[in-house]
DNA sequence: CTGAAAGCGCTTACAG
DNA sequence: CTGAAAGCGCTTACAG
């Protein structure tokens, strides 16, 4: 790597100027004459010189790096395209401004990883990919005044910079759609009650039922975890009740796999006897039979917006505090279609509308 | 962030030693007395001092960072758990040695991203997550002697450090298993002929057929791309032939979704009329009806091993050149079971064994 | 076993 | 418009 040995002094010598001048040319400093800029730039390009990042960081007291916290033990975050889509949005946006992305992972806890990156001055800011209630990571950065953007929502502090889907409204819309399909006993399955986005969805669901004067039956709400097994067991249990649900909203695709199996094993028809809807679109929701109605979320945009806001923050610009929402989309498919073709003649009972 | 302002000089003053000594205590240099170490360590811990990474990098001419190249526009790499599993394996392993992971993404091409990280001396080494035939990224690092590990195999150079699945043998085993289910016309669908791992699988498939004296019919091999649509169209086409396949090996889960749909739409029974097997295990292969036989690959281990080897390389240790293989697993499920229960009585034709 | 000093490769007030 | 010089916060031969 012959080129990497070249320093600013070498370029200065070759261009017959001082290293101050070379540095300013690289910075496109307006005080340098166009003539000098042109001449020095030619040398720089000819030799492929790039300033060494460590030296730069030390001198400028700025790393031009941003940390990303990868959740530990959160299979759910990887099972949808959330993680890599958000990552791509973040990286693309940051790279355009010459920022690099450091991944915090491998330390015993996420907080350890954050502390290491922060205390060794590796990064200028952080993007958090999710939040829980009373999130220790959020608290740490908030207390220390370290610049960060949360992809998600912070319930504890109003002045945390957040980028999120409007989970409340999305959940409201989805519930409303199902209600309009003629369903009255709508179950909610999957996800952890510790997750802020799940809480938001629960609230949207409640709000919608309230608005339609449907009594809230807490037996129909089964938060707990996200897994195929959980979806299966929980749905079986619900279907065995005296008054089973006539619709179900599932928090993620993996859990939905189990829910669908349970419904099939109970020989119930979708959507006639049980309508099904799910958050996050994917191969399963799109190609299952019937295809499943989803709320599809724009994860790339979530990452890109978070990165944009962080860059503004680091640049000393004003950023709106609190939540900034990204659009979502309600994709209606057969699993909730009121007028879905009925291919079976063994429907046990018809619903009342 | 009061603590982040502390420098080695502050600690030296507080401990009443020189900064050289503080530096050596941090390094656990054997020449420092235990007494001094204990005393200085106490101060360091008390104030939570950590050396600043940029200054360290500059002085040591080493970044303690490793770059990861995230493939652009390769949906397939994200659709399985490969990407995040490998990432976790890499990050965990590197973090234990105090290494950080920089992500190269967002630049117009992967090579641009690599060049930027290398030319600005941001990283000590690189891990590549895949390779193609005549891979420009590999060539660049190879030509420049930049330390890197390839997750995959390099066909062009024997002395590139690689960590890979034994795709040849895995494909051989899978083909052999299907052959032993009594199948003779085994199709191969999906993946790009540019990808080294696909080529390896093709070779393993050919080798197995040869060994069983089955003539190779190139009409049965449909490399091209990975997508649900490609799987569907290609499989439909094959099934419409005069001599359709009686088994199919699919290169990835996404394509397999399409292949399964095509078989179902043709009203053929799995595995009696067409056996199906797939590379990579996931929600679809495990929960589809019937469940699909897979080769499951250990992506975490792939990443971890790559990281371990890179650390050895950077540490000046001898690493075996060429390929180092990680274990895989053949998981036999209903889609290839010779004795699978037949639930249908409308089988159009029975196979000859 | 410990310290003073040089040096890593940049940036940036300061001076002109 | 340009340059000489100090400084960013470490490490590490060198000397003792």
Q: How far is A144 from chain B (nearest CA, A)?
A: 5
pLDDT band for position B55 (cuts 50, 70, 90): very high
pLDDT of residue A3: 44
Six token digits for residue A194: 């510790």
**Chain C positions under 7 Å from a protein CB?**
1-5, 7-13
Residue B349 scores a pLDDT above 50: no
Residue B350 scores a pLDDT above 70: no
pLDDT of residue A350: 35
Residue B160 scores a pLDDT above 50: yes
**Nucleotide nearest to B27 in CA–C1' terms:** D11
Kindly state the average pLDDT of the residues B87-115.
86
Kindly state the average pLDDT of the residues A283-304.
89
CB contact under 8 A, B50 and A107: no
Taking Cα atoms as reference points, which of B123, B146, B130, B142 lies closest to residue B76?
Answer: B130
Kindly state the average pLDDT of the residues A251-263.
90
CA distances from B181 to B324, B340, B347 (A): 31, 11, 18
Q: Which DSSP letter does residue A218 get?
A: G
What does the alpha-carbon distance between residue A160 and residue A306 come to, in Å, rounded to a whole number? Answer: 12
**pLDDT tens, A80-136?**
778 888 988 998 899 888 899 998 776 778 888 898 899 899 999 999 998 888 889
Closest to A102 (Cβ–Cβ): which among B57, B100, B253? B100
pLDDT band for position B316 (cuts 50, 70, 90): confident
Report the percent of chain A where pLDDT is more than 90: 62
Residue A76 scores a pLDDT above 70: no
pLDDT of residue B83: 84
The H-or-E segment that residue A196 falls in is: helix A196-211
Closest to B96 (Cβ–Cβ): which among A63, A106, A146? A106
pLDDT band for position A352 (cuts 50, 70, 90): very low
**pLDDT tens, B260-274?**
989 988 999 999 999
Q: How far is A54 from chain B (nearest CA, A)?
A: 5
**Nucleotide nearest to A121 in CA–C1' terms:** D9
Nearest CA in chain A to B95: A106
- Over the Cα atoms of chain A, what is R_g? 26
Q: Determine the 3-state secondary structure of B12 from DSSP.
A: helix
Taking Cα atoms as reference points, which of A127, A167, A134 lies closest to residue A151?
Answer: A127
Closest to B121 (Cβ–Cβ): which among A4, A78, A257? A4
pLDDT of residue B342: 38
Cβ neighbours for A14, distance < 8 A, ≥ 6 positions apart: A43, A47
Dihedral, B274, B279, B284, B288 alpha carbons, nearest 10:
30
Nearest CA in chain A to B71: A88
What does the alpha-carbon distance between residue B79 and residue A198 come to, in Å, rounded to a whole number? Answer: 24
CA distances from B265 to A129, A219, A316, B306, B337 (A): 41, 39, 59, 43, 21
Kindly state the average pLDDT of the residues A300-322.
93
What does the alpha-carbon distance between residue B295 and residue B110 come to, in Å, rounded to a whole number? Answer: 29
pLDDT band for position B345 (cuts 50, 70, 90): very low
Residues of B in contact with A235 (CB under 8 A): none
Residues of A in contact with B81 (CB under 8 A): 78
Residue nearest to nucleotide C8 (CA to C1'): B59
pLDDT of residue A98: 85
Report CA(A112)–C1'(C1) in Å, whole number. 34
What does pTM read for this prediction? 0.84
Mean pLDDT of chain A: 87
The H-or-E segment that residue A172 falls in is: helix A167-180
Q: Which of A54, A261, A288 should be substituted to probe chain B, the one whose Cβ sees the most B Cβ atoms within 10 Å?
A: A54
In degrees, to the nearest 5, what angle opens at C-alpha B279 toward C-alphas B274 and B283? 90
Dihedral, B332, B333, B337, B342 alpha carbons, nearest 10:
170
**pLDDT tens, A226-246?**
888 899 999 999 999 999 999
Report CA(A180)–C1'(D14) in Å, whole number. 83
pLDDT of residue B74: 66
Residues of A in contact with B253 (CB under 8 A): 283
Report CA(A73)–C1'(D2) in Å, whole number. 56
CB contact at 8 A, A276 and A333: no
What does the alpha-carbon distance between residue A312 and residue A118 come to, in Å, rounded to a whole number? Answer: 19
Q: Which residue has the tokens 């085993």?
A: B173
Give exposure, B211-244, as e/b (b: 16+ Cβ within 10 Å): eeebeeeeebbbbebbbbebbbebbbebbeeeeb
A-to-B residue pairs, Cβ atoms closer than 8 angstroms: 139
CB contact at 8 A, A241 and A219: yes
Report CA(B22)–C1'(D11) in Å, whole number. 11
Nearest CA in chain A to B227: A283
CB contact under 8 A, B121 and A53: yes
Kindly state the average pLDDT of the residues A48-54.
92
**pLDDT tens, B185-237?**
999 999 888 888 999 999 999 999 999 999 999 999 999 888 888 999 999 99
CB contact under 8 A, A106 and B95: yes
**Nucleotide nearest to B31 in CA–C1' terms:** C1
Q: How far is B324 from chain A (nearest CA, A)?
A: 23
What does the alpha-carbon distance between residue A103 and residue B142 come to, in Å, rounded to a whole number? Answer: 26
Instruction: Say if residue B145 is exposed, middle or buried (CB neighbours under 10 Å; 0-12, 13-18, 19+).
Output: exposed
pLDDT of residue A162: 95
Instruction: Tell me which of A353 and B11 has the higher pLDDT.
Output: B11
pLDDT of residue A341: 39
Report CA(B324)–C1'(C8) in Å, whole number. 37
**pLDDT tens, A136-183?**
999 999 998 899 999 999 989 999 999 999 999 999 999 999 999 999
CB contact under 8 A, A120 and B50: yes
CB contact under 8 A, A103 and B103: yes
Nearest CA in chain A to B232: A287
Residue B181 scores a pLDDT above 70: yes
């Amino acid at each position: 790597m012959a080129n990497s040995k070249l320093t600013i002094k070498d370029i200065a010598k070759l261009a017959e100027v001082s290293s101050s001048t070379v540095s300013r040319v690289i910075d496109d400093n307006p005080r340098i004459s166009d003539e000098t800029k042109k001449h020095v730039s030619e040398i720089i390009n000819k030799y492929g010189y790039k300033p060494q990042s460590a030296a730069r960081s030390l001198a400028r007291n700025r790393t031009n790096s941003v940390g990303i916290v990868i959740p530990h033990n959160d299979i759910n975050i990887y099972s949808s395209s959330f993680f890599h889509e958000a990552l791509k949005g973040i990286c693309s946006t940051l790279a355009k401004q010459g920022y690099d992305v450091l991944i915090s992972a491998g330390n015993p806890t996420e907080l350890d990883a954050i502390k290491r990156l922060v205390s060794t001055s590796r990064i200028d800011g952080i993007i958090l990919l999710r939040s829980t209630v009373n999130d220790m990571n959020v608290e740490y950065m908030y207390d220390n005044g370290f610049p960060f953007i949360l992809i998600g929502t912070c319930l504890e502090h109003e002045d945390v910079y957040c980028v999120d889907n409007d989970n409340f409204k999305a959940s409201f819309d989805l519930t409303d759609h199902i209600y309009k399909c003629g369903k009255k006993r709508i179950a909610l399955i999957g996800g952890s009650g510790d997750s802020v986005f799940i809480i938001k969805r629960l609230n949207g669901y409640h709000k919608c039922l309230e608005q339609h004067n449907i009594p809230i039956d807490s037996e129909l709400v089964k938060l707990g975890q996200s897994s195929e097994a959980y979806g299966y067991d929980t749905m079986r249990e619900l279907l065995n009740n005296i008054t089973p649900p006539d619709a179900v909203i599932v928090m993620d695709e993996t859990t939905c796999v189990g829910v669908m199996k349970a419904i099939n094993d109970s020989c119930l028809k979708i959507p006639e006897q049980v309508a099904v809807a799910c958050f996050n679109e994917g191969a399963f929701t799109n190609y299952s039979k019937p295809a499943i109605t989803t709320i599809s979320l724009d994860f790339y945009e979530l990452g890109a917006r978070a990165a944009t806001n962080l860059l503004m923050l680091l640049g000393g610009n004003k950023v709106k505090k609190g939540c900034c929402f990204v659009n979502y989309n309600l994709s209606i498919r057969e699993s909730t279609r009121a007028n879905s073709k009925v291919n079976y003649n063994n429907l046990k009972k018809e619903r009342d509308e």
